[in-house]
Amino acid sequence: SKEQGRNRYAFYTDALNQSISRRLQIEGYLRGAIERGELMLHYQPQYDVSSQRVTGVEALLRWNSPELGQVGPDEFIPIAEQSGLILPIGRFVLQTALAAAKRWIELDPDFKLAVNISPAQFRDESLVSFLQEELAKHQYPASRLELEITEGILMRGGTQVEETLAALHEMGVCLSMDDFGTGYSSLSYLRKYPVDELKIDRSFVNEMTVDESDRELVNAAISLSRGLGLRVVAEGVETAEQLQALKELECGVVQGFWLSEPVPQEHIGKMLERQARL
Ligand code: C2E
Ligand code: CA
Ligand code: CA
Ligand code: CA
């Protein structure tokens, strides 16, 4: 009836208003969150499959808002991306992570720090000079830094992106394709751009022990990396069975809750100290 239609309409606009006001709240409180000390980084270790040693970490943002509580990066990063707030936040992430990782490469010279870079950050003209300054300031070797980007950045391309890629390559900074396999591009960008690593998306890893086609896709990604001479990381390893399956496929590096959740900075230092003594 007409009445029902009106109710349904009211229901949808209500839900829409709620999600808009949540967005606006997040954007509002996120502004100034760095200055108020509400943002911090956790680090998730990555492990060499055969030796089980920690080879590096991925930096992951955490936001504890006094007003909103813990807000996950899956929710606030897209909002930061659209509002431009990702630029100061991204600089905060790089500065903080490099300062921490400076200590870690002293414990293990082969240690690698991985940092997520969103499309807006990658298109920012000042990214390269900012990175150069920060690497110099922390005396951190460029080759021990890896930027995780998604294939959308490479697909869209453009002069700015090409220049940034060339400059990063020149500097010796590594590039990792995050969420590999979830896009729908041709693989030609792997030939065109200086990618160093593929990170197999956790949706494939998740199902690989129960779904034969997911296992085959993981296998294909590992073979592809081998063929192209790239590093390969499987993310989202949650069970012993998945780890075993990845071992059998000779995956290089693994990351996931089964091995370790993202942890505060101090934990990483302790892990590496223990490892250095072995
Ligand atoms: P991502 O780059 O794909 O990061 C991996 C996500 O998977 C992280 O979620 C991590 O906590 C989670 N994860 C790790 N192991 C497992 C596992 O075994 N099972 C499951 N179910 N999940 C696992 P998180 O920390 O919530 O981050 C979500 C996304 O937010 C990231 O996805 C990344 O796209 C973005 N993000 C996080 N930190 C940053 C940052 O500093 N800068 C930018 N630009 N984006 C960030
Ligand atoms: Ca990532
Ligand atoms: Ca990922
Ligand atoms: Ca992701």
Q: Model confidence over 24-36: pLDDT tens digits? A: 999 999 999 999 9
Looking at ligand 1, which residue's alpha carbon is closest to its atom 12? 236
Residue 185: predicted pLDDT: 66
Token pair belonging to 242: 């998945």
- What CA–CA distance (Å, rounded) separates 41 from 60? 6
For a mutational test of ligand 1's pocket, the pick from 39, 60, 182, i.e. the residue with the most ligand atoms closer than 8 A to its C-beta, is 60
8 Å CB contact between 111 and 55: yes
pLDDT tens, position by position, 88-142: 999 999 999 999 999 999 999 999 999 999 999 999 999 999 999 999 999 999 9
Q: What is the position in ligand 1's atom list of the atom closest to the CA of 237? A: 18
Looking at ligand 1, which residue's alpha carbon is closest to its atom 4? 60
Least confidently predicted of 70-74, 155-159, 206-210, 228-232: 155-159
* Number of the ligand closest to the Cα of 73: 1
HSE (side-chain half, CA atoms, 13 Å) at 208: 30
Q: What is the DSSP letter of 84?
A: S
Residue 74 CB–ligand 1 contact under 6 Å = yes
Residue 61 CB–ligand 1 contact under 6 Å = yes
**What is the reported pTM?**
0.94
- Cα 57 to ligand 3 centre (Å): 13
Report how far apart, in Å, the C-alpha atoms of 69 and of each of 44, 72, 96, 242 are.
Answer: 22, 10, 22, 33
